[in-house]
């Protein structure tokens, strides 16, 4: 999988609980600092309408799953050690934390919503929760950018080479490439000569990186401990915040794992394995989730993929009439592609040889032949015709 989303936050924010809920991965969960002492990596999913409903045949995914016309498309999730002040200087689990987010495409910033709302200044408390963590990220990224800068900048200014290319070699470990760096430089008023950069410029670059390239999405956990009125007020404080209940989501995931329900999607339909008490608890959770006051983690992931990272889902197939691969598997793959991608981009994503041998493509929904520069759309089913 090409895209990784990190879960970050202070100790006791409930990251590990949320991680277990959305990845079905059992990890240590406890109410003391640094329960997570090394990054946990698992797989979660975004949910999309599956094209199987159009072709009239049950799909057979190579990765993820499909239930009742809903395709569960895998996304990698990393739960990193709890962040404390000074992490950028190596305090606590700082080094492990910060290195874990290098290749994350976006970050879900988890904080304890119930604690924040206990104060007289809820808006200020929430803002501090978010800004404290972001501050450590900015300090860490700035320190990596500025490391051995004077020698690097002097040499860079003396050669005739694109600044983006030079910076990509120096700070590529931050998980950004030339295209990302170009976007950052275009958005900020940074000196053209690298030797003129100062500490403020390193911070500006880092801030733009976490705003435009590695977006930070605030998630207020423990919403089950907060009244509906207070949850509703969150959107007025900051419309970017997603209230969730990791405890409830973990209960749903465990009910699914033990066969008490057939799907994690509401409405929950209890199976014969569920006893009366379990049915009552599931109804309580369903009512809470269905109230509209909270978000579900899969919806947040979908929002990040679609609106923050601007990715679309494309289904490559071998046979445009059956929407299958060579073995007859229906819609076997679902690729996450950057919005604006073309059939040629898809061909290269499948395999370099297919990209190099590209001849044309077929839009399987319309049966129209499309060229290499055609702009793909979300949900497209595409056959690539190649010399290879």
Are domains 4-39+80-137+216-245+294-305 and 311-386 of this chain identical in fold? no
Every domain of the chain and the residues it spans? 4-39+80-137+216-245+294-305, 311-386
pLDDT tens string 93-121: 445 555 667 778 899 999 999 988 888 88
Q: For residue 68, which of 83, 86, 43, 47 has the smallest C-alpha distance?
A: 47
Alpha helix (H) residue ranges in the chain? 15-23, 52-55, 94-100, 113-116, 122-146, 149-157, 163-171, 178-187, 199-208, 228-237, 246-257, 276-289, 297-303, 343-350, 352-356
Tally helices (H) and strands (E) across the chain.
15, 12
**Tens-level pLDDT at each residue, the chain (388 residues):** 457 899 988 878 898 899 999 987 644 444 444 444 456 889 999 999 999 999 999 999 999 999 889 999 999 998 876 554 554 455 444 455 556 677 788 999 999 999 888 888 888 888 888 888 888 888 888 988 999 999 999 999 999 899 999 999 999 888 889 999 999 999 888 998 999 999 999 999 999 998 888 888 999 999 999 988 888 888 777 888 999 999 999 999 999 999 999 888 899 999 999 999 999 999 999 999 998 889 999 899 999 999 888 999 999 999 999 999 999 999 999 999 999 999 999 999 999 999 999 999 999 999 999 999 999 999 999 999 999 8
Cβ neighbors of 27 (< 8 A, separation 6 or more) are: 16, 19, 20, 36, 40, 79
Q: Which CATH number fits domain 4-39+80-137+216-245+294-305: 3.90.180.10, 3.40.50.300, 3.40.50.150, 3.40.50.970?
A: 3.40.50.300
Q: Where are the alpha helices (DSSP H) in 209-339?
A: 228-237, 246-257, 276-289, 297-303
Q: How far apart are CA 184 and CA 14, in angstroms?
A: 32
Q: Which residues, including other chains, have CB under 8 Å from residue 196's CB and lie 6 or more apart?
A: none
Query: Could you tell me whether strands 106-112 and 4-8 are parallel, antiparallel, or unpaired per DSSP bridges?
Result: parallel
CB 293 within 8 A of CB 22: no
Give 272's Cβ-side CA count (13 Å radius).
0
The pTM (predicted TM-score) of the whole model is: 0.82
Question: What average pLDDT does the chain have?
Answer: 88
β-sheet bridge partners, residue 311: 338
Tell me how crowded residue 379 is: count the other CB atoms within 10 A of its CB. 17
Q: Cis omega (within 30 of 0) on the bond before 124?
A: no
State percent of the chain over pLDDT 90.
Answer: 64
HSE-CB of 310 using CA atoms within 13 angstroms: 9
Q: Report, in angstroms and rounded to the nearest whole number, the Rg of the chain calculated over CA atoms.
A: 23
Burial class of residue 178 in the structure, from the number of CB atoms within 10 Å of its CB (0-12 exposed, 13-18 middle, 19+ buried): middle
Q: Cβ distance 91 to 84 under 8 Å?
A: yes
Per DSSP, 375 falls in state P
Identify the CATH number of the domain defined by range 311-386. 3.10.20.30
Express each pLDDT in 330-345 by its tens digit: 999 999 999 999 999 9
Report DSSP letters for 10-67, one per residue.
-TTSSHHHHHHHHH-------SSTTS--S-EEEEEEEEEE-THHHHTS----SSSEEE
Distance CA 269, CA 261 (A): 6
Q: Give the whole-angstrom CA distance, residue 45 versus residue 105.
A: 15
């Amino acid at each position: 999988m090409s895209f990784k989303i990190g879960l970050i936050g202070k100790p006791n924010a409930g990251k590990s609980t949320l991680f277990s809920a959305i990845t079905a991965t059992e990890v240590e969960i406890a109410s003391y600092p640094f329960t997570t002492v090394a990054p946990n990596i698992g797989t979660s999913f975004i949910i999309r309408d599956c094209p199987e409903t159009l072709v009239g045949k049950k799909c057979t995914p190579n990765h993820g799953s499909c239930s009742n016309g809903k395709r569960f498309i895998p996304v990698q999730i990393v739960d990193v050690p709890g962040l404390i002040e000074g992490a950028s200087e190596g305090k606590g689990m700082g080094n492990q934390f910060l290195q874990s987010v290098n290749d994350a495409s976006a970050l879900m910033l988890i904080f304890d919503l119930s604690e924040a709302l206990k104060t007289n200044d809820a808006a200020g408390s929430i803002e501090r929760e978010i800004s404290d963590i972001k501050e450590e990220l900015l300090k860490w990224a700035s320190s990596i950018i500025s490391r051995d800068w004077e020698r690097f900048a002097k040499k860079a200014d003396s050669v005739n080479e694109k600044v983006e290319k030079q910076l990509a070699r120096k700070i590529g470990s931050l998980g950004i490439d030339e295209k990302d760096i170009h976007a950052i430089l275009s958005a900020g008023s940074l000196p053209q000569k690298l030797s003129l950069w100062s500490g403020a410029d390193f911070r500006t670059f880092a801030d733009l990186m976490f705003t435009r390239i590695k977006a930070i999405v605030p998630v207020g956990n423990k919403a089950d401990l907060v009244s509906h009125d207070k949850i509703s007020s969150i959107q007025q404080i900051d419309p970017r915040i997603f209230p969730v209940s990791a405890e409830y989501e973990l209960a749903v995931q465990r009910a699914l794992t033990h066969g008490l329900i057939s799907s994690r999607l509401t409405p929950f339909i209890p199976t014969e394995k569920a006893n009366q008490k379990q049915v009552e608890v599931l109804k309580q959770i369903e009512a809470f989730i269905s109230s509209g006051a909270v978000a579900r983690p899969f919806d947040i992931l979908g929002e990040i993929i679609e609106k923050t990272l601007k990715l679309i889902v494309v289904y490559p197939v071998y046979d445009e009439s059956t929407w299958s691969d060579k073995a007859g598997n229906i819609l076997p793959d679902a690729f996450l592609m950057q919005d604006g991608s073309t059939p040629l981009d898809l061909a290269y994503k499948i395999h370099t040889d297919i990209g190099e041998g590209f001849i044309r493509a077929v839009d399987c929904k319309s049966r129209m032949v499309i060229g290499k520069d055609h702009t793909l759309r979300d949900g497209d089913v595409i056959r690539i015709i190649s010399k290879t």
